Amino acid sequence: MKSIVAIITTLTGMQTSRYNLIALLKLVIVLILLVTGFSIVFHVLMEREGQHHSWITGFYWTLTVMSTLGFGDITFESDAGRAFSVIVLVTGVLFLLVLLPFTFIEFFYAPWMAAQEAAKAPTHVPPKTKRHVILTCYGPVGKMLVQLLEESGYEYFVLVPTVHDALELRAQGVPTVTGDRVDPETYRRCNIDTAAMVITTLDDIANTNVTFTVRELCENVPIVASATKDSVRDALELAGVTHILRLEEMMGKALARRVIGNDAAAHIIGEMEGLILAEASPARTTLLGRTLGESNLRTETGVTVVGLWVRGQFEPSDPASVISEHTMLVLAGTRAQVEKYNEVYGQQNSGDTRVVIVGGGRVGRVTSATLTEAGVEWTLIEKLPERVKNIKHKVIGDASDFEVLVEAGMQEATSVVITTHDDDINIFLTIFYRRLRHSMQIISRCTAKMSAERLHRAGSDLVLSYASMGANTIFNVLRGRDTVLLAEGVNIFPVDVPPSLAGKTVAGSAVRSTTGCSIIAVESRNGERAINPHPDTLLAGDGKLVLIGTLDAEKEFFDTFKPVIEK
C-alpha cells in the first residue's frame, strides 16, 4: 500500500504527468460522446426501418461494432444503415484500436511504470546513517574504491542525477541516492553532517561546484576532489576542498620512476615514514646467477629484498630465489642504505638510457617532464600535433607505424612507456613492441583493473593502474594512513598488530603461509623499526607491522587476523 501511494504521489506530482492525464481524460470524454451520438443515430435509423430497440441495445450495438467484435443479432436492412455501420466501424478502429491504446500507454501506462521505477530509486540515505562515504561518480576509480570500502566495512552511497542511472547501479548491487549534485537539499538527504567523506571525481567545473555546495552545508566533512589542471587547484581550495587528486600527474611521475636504465641503480618508488622503497635491475651486475641468500645484499648494503618482479609477476622474497636478467629487485631500507646499494652496484653497468613515450596526453607530458628532471633522454610519439606544441623531442604519427618508430629511436630505446588512456590500444601496442624487441623494458598504464593481467600477458614488464592508484590514494586519506602501490595489485601497507598475533614471533605468526602477505618491517612500542625482522622477533600488542602483498593477500590478512581499524 505504501508503494502504491508513493507511485501515485510521484505520478501526480510531476507536471508532465498531470498534463498527460488530462489529455487522456479528454480522449475518453470524446469517446463517450461518440458512443452516445452513434447510439442516438442507431435508434433513429432503426425506427425508420420499423425496428424498435432499447437504449441499452443501442449502446450494445455501438460498442460491438466499434470494437470489431462483429454482430449478427442486430443488423440494418437499408443502405443508409449499412453505410452508418461502416462509419461506426472505421471510427471504432481509429479510436479503440489505435488512438486510445497508444494514448493510454504513452500518457498513463509508461508514466506509471516510470513512477513505479522512480519509487525504487532512493532519494535519501537510511535514517541515522553515520560515517558513510558519498561518491559523485562511479567510474573506474569509483569502482575500485567501492571494493576497498566494502572489504573494510565502510558504508557508501553513489550520488546519481537520474532515475535511470540509479536503477542501472541498483541492478549491480550498488547503493545510490538520486538527486542533483549541486543542490544542497540532495546532500541534506544524504546526512552530510554525519558523513565520513565526500569524493568527487567528475570534471573540474563539476568538482568545484560540488565542493562549494557541500562546504556551504558542512564545514568539517572531508572532501576529496580530482583536478586535471594546476589552475583548478586554486578554485578547489577556495571552494573548501580537503585533498586534491592530480591522478594524471601521479601516474606520469610513477611511470617515469619505473624506467630502469643501464646504470643498475636503485630507483626510489615510494617512502613510508622513513622506510624507503626502491626498484633495481641487476642486469649485468655481479648479482646475476646468485640466489637471494647468496647475494649478501643485506650484509653489504643494509637493504632488504622484499620481493621480485619477474616478467610482470610479483614474487615474495625467498632465499632460494635466483636473480636473473629478467628479475627486478624490490628493495626496502633507509635512504642511506639505498645510497650504499647504488655505490656498490649502481655503477657496474654502463650505457645511456633512452626512453620512448607513447601518448602525448597529460600523463605522457608529465612522464616526459619527470624524465627530463632526472636527466633521461626521451622521445614522445603523438598523433595530434596540437597536444604537443611545446614538446621538443617529439614525433608526430601513429605509434604502430614502423617508420614512426624508427624516427623515434625505438631500435635504440632501453624502455618504452605507453601512456594512452585506451586499454585496448595499450594492449595492442604492448604485443607489437614485445614482438619487435624482446629485451626492451615495456611499462604501461591501464585504466581498468581487469586490463592489467592482459597487459602482463601481452608482454608488459610493469603495469600501473589509474583506477588502483586513485582508489588507494583516496582510501589512504579516508583511513588516515599510507599505502604504497608498487604496481597493479601489489601494495605495501602498515597495520597495527592484530590482537590474535600479539606475543607471537614473526615465524610463529604464519602470516605468509596463511595469507600470502610478507612482513617486511616490525615497529615496536617505542617507535623502533626493524626492517626484514628476524623470524624470532616478537610482535608487541601495541606495535605495528608493514606488510607487502597483492590486494587478494591483503584482504585475506584482514579477514584472517581481523586487525583493529580506527574509522
Instruction: Tell me the pLDDT tens digit for each residue of 503-523.
Output: 899 889 989 888 888 888 888
Q: Which of 121, 59, 60, 65 is nearest to 92 (CA)?
A: 65
Mean pLDDT is lowest, of 93-97, 295-299, 447-451, for: 93-97
**Confidence check: pLDDT of 90 > 50:** yes
Confidence (pLDDT) at 2: 42
Kindly state the average pLDDT of the residues 469-477. Answer: 84
Are 369 and 458 part of one and the same domain? yes
Q: Which residues pair with 446 in a beta bridge?
A: 465
Q: Which residue has the cell 501511494?
A: 5
Q: What is the CATH number of the domain that holds 183?
A: 3.40.50.720
Is the pLDDT at 567 greater than 70? The verdict is: no
Q: Band of the pLDDT at 347, cuts 50, 70, 90?
A: low
Q: Does residue 562 have a pLDDT over 90?
A: no
Burial class (CB in 10 A: 0-12, 13-18, 19+), 3: exposed
pLDDT for res 405: 94
Of 39-53, 142-156, 311-325, 490-504, least confident by mean pLDDT is 311-325
> Residue 376 pLDDT > 90, yes or no?
no
Burial of 212 (0-12, 13-18, 19+ CB in 10 A): middle
Q: How high does pLDDT run on average in the chain? A: 83
Last residue of a domain, one of 306, 324, 345: 345
Last residue of a domain, one of 120, 149, 178: 120
Q: Return the beta strands (E) in 311-403 as ranges.
A: 313-316, 327-333, 354-358, 377-382, 394-396
Question: What mean pLDDT comes out for the span 232-260?
Answer: 87
Residues 221 and 171 both lie in one domain: yes
> Sign of the CA dihedral 398, 403, 408, 412?
positive
CATH code: domain of residue 275: 3.30.70.1450
- Residue 475 belongs to some domain of the structure: no
Q: Whole-angstrom Cα distance, residue 233 to residue 251?
A: 18
pLDDT at residue 524 greater than cutoff 90: no
What pLDDT score was predicted for residue 302?
84
pLDDT, greater one: 72 or 535? 535
CA angle 537, 543, 545 (to 5 degrees): 70
User: Mean pLDDT, to the nearest integer, of 20-36?
Assistant: 79
Residue 252 lies in a domain: no
In the predicted model, is pLDDT for residue 95 greater than 80?
no
Q: φ, ψ for residue 530 (rounded to 5)? A: -110, 115
Domain that residue 538 falls in: 489-561
Closest Cα to residue 461, out of 434, 436, 425? Answer: 434
User: Considering only CA atoms, which of 149, 120, 91 is closest in space to residue 555?
Assistant: 149
Confidence tier at 348 by pLDDT (50, 70, 90): low
Judge if 144 and 241 occupy the same domain. Answer: yes
> Is the Cβ–Cβ distance between 479 and 565 less than 8 Å?
yes
Residues 6 or more apart whose Cβ sits within 8 Å of residue 286: 345, 348
CA dist 112 and 103 (Å) reads 13
Band the pLDDT of 79: cuts 50, 70, 90. confident
Quick one: average pLDDT of 174-188?
Answer: 91
Strands 518-523 and 529-531: antiparallel
Four-CA torsion 166, 170, 173, 176, nearest 10 degrees: 40
How many domains are there within the chain?
5
99 and 28 in one domain? yes
Q: Which three cell numbers stand for residue 41?
A: 443515430
Is residue 237 assigned to a domain?
yes
Domain assignment of residue 251, yes or no: no
Residue at a domain's end among 345, 378, 397:
345
Q: Whole-angstrom Cα distance, residue 323 to residue 294?
A: 10
Q: 319 and 269, same structural domain?
A: yes
Query: What is the predicted pLDDT for the residue at 86?
Result: 87
In the chain, the amino acid numbered 318 is D
Locus of grid cell 657496474: 348
**Is the confidence at residue 329, as pLDDT, over 60?**
yes
Question: What pLDDT does 367 receive?
Answer: 93
Query: pLDDT tens across 270-323, in order?
Result: 777 677 888 887 876 788 888 888 888 888 888 888 788 776 567 777 788 888
Say what the pLDDT of residue 453 is.
Answer: 83
Verify that 186 and 240 share a domain, yes or no. Answer: yes
**DSSP-H helix ranges across 450-550:** 450-458, 466-479, 506-509, 511-515
Which secondary-structure segment (H or E) carries 57? helix 55-66
Residue 471 lies in a domain: no
pLDDT value of position 265:
79
At 223, phi and psi to the nearest 5? Answer: -125, 125
Let me know if residue 126 belongs to a domain. Answer: no
Specify whether 110 is located in the same domain as 141.
Answer: no
C-alpha to C-alpha distance for 327 and 308, rounded to whole angstroms:
6
Task: Check residue 242 and give its pLDDT.
Answer: 92
For residues 263 and 286, give the distance between their C-alpha atoms in angstroms, rounded to a whole number. Answer: 13
Distance, in Å, from the CA atom of 545 to the CA atom of 487, rounded to the nearest integer, reads 21
Q: Which amino acid is at 143?
A: K
| 170 in a structural domain | yes
For residue 415, give the nearest of 261, 255, 531, 546 by alpha carbon: 261
416 falls in which pLDDT band (50, 70, 90)? very high
215 versus 350: the higher-pLDDT residue is 215
- 8/115 same-domain check: yes
Q: Are residues 341 and 373 in the same domain?
A: no
User: Taking 60 as the threshold, does the pLDDT of residue 5 lie above it?
Assistant: no
Query: Is 467:141 a contact under the CB 8 Å cutoff?
Result: yes
Distance CA(143)–CA(485), nearest Å, equals: 17
State the average pLDDT over residues 320-340. 84
pLDDT at position 478 is 85
Minimum mean pLDDT among 175-189, 326-340, 348-362: which range?
A: 348-362
State the SS3 of 455-470: HHHHCCCEEEEHHHHH
Per-residue pLDDT for 263 more than 70? no
Cβ(308)–Cβ(314) below 8 Å? yes
pLDDT confidence tier of residue 566, bands split at 50, 70 and 90? low
Mean pLDDT is highest, among 26-30, 107-111, 497-501, for 497-501
Contact 478, 197 (CB under 8 A): yes
Asked whether residue 169 falls in the same domain as residue 234, the answer is yes
Asked whether residue 110 falls in the same domain as residue 21, the answer is yes
Above 60 in pLDDT, residue 349? Answer: no
Asked if residue 178 lies in contact with residue 121, where contact means CB atoms within 8 angstroms, the answer is yes
Helix (H) or strand (E) run with residue 385 in it: none
Q: What one-character-per-residue DSSP string does 176-219 give?
A: EEES-TT-HHHHHHTTGGG-SEEEE-S-HHHHHHHHHHHHHH-S
Task: Confirm whether 116 is domain-assigned.
Answer: yes
Handedness of CA 98, 100, 103, 105 (dihedral sign): negative
**pLDDT of amino acid 114:** 61
Give residue 240's Cα distance to chain centre: 24
Instruction: Of 416, 421, 386, give the one whose Cα is nearest residue 404.
Output: 416
pLDDT tens-digit readout, 107-126: 666 666 665 565 567 888 88
59 and 81 part of one domain = yes
- Residue 428: which pLDDT band, with cuts at 50, 70 and 90? very high
Cβ partners under 8 Å of residue 519, min gap 6 = 506, 509, 511, 512, 533, 545, 546, 547
